[in-house]
Amino acid sequence: MSDWMNDLNEMQRYYTLRREAERHRLVCQALEGRQRRPRIYCRIICWFGHCLSVIGKSLQERYGNEASAMSWIVETRKQE
């Protein structure tokens, strides 16, 4: 191929890449304003954390401070 054909191919490739980049920029700009839904695992982790806090609250109401980890450690060290 001659040099001008190489130049022409390079220019076409350059303009194609610019068009793709501009399209990508516009898509990103359009999606930027949309509010994304949390993924399923985020909702599961949130639900699991809520369940743990409810269980913890009920255990604390039932047993009070007797069952806390720190009081168990302190009592164990006093016995030694």
Dihedral, CA atoms, 2, 8, 9, 13, nearest 10 degrees?
A: 160
The DSSP annotation for 23-49 comes to: HHHHHHHHHHTSPPPPPHHHHHHHHHH
Helix (H, G, I), strand (E, B) or coil at 74: helix
Task: State the pTM of this model.
Answer: 0.40
What pLDDT was estimated at residue 25? 92
Locate 46 and state its tokens: 């949130």
What pLDDT was estimated at residue 72? 57
What pLDDT was estimated at residue 63? 78
User: pLDDT tens digits, the chain, 80 residues: what are they?
Assistant: 578 888 889 999 999 999 999 999 998 888 887 777 767 888 899 999 999 999 988 888 887 766 555 565 556 666 65
What pLDDT was estimated at residue 67? 55
**What is the DSSP-derived secondary structure letter of residue 69?**
H
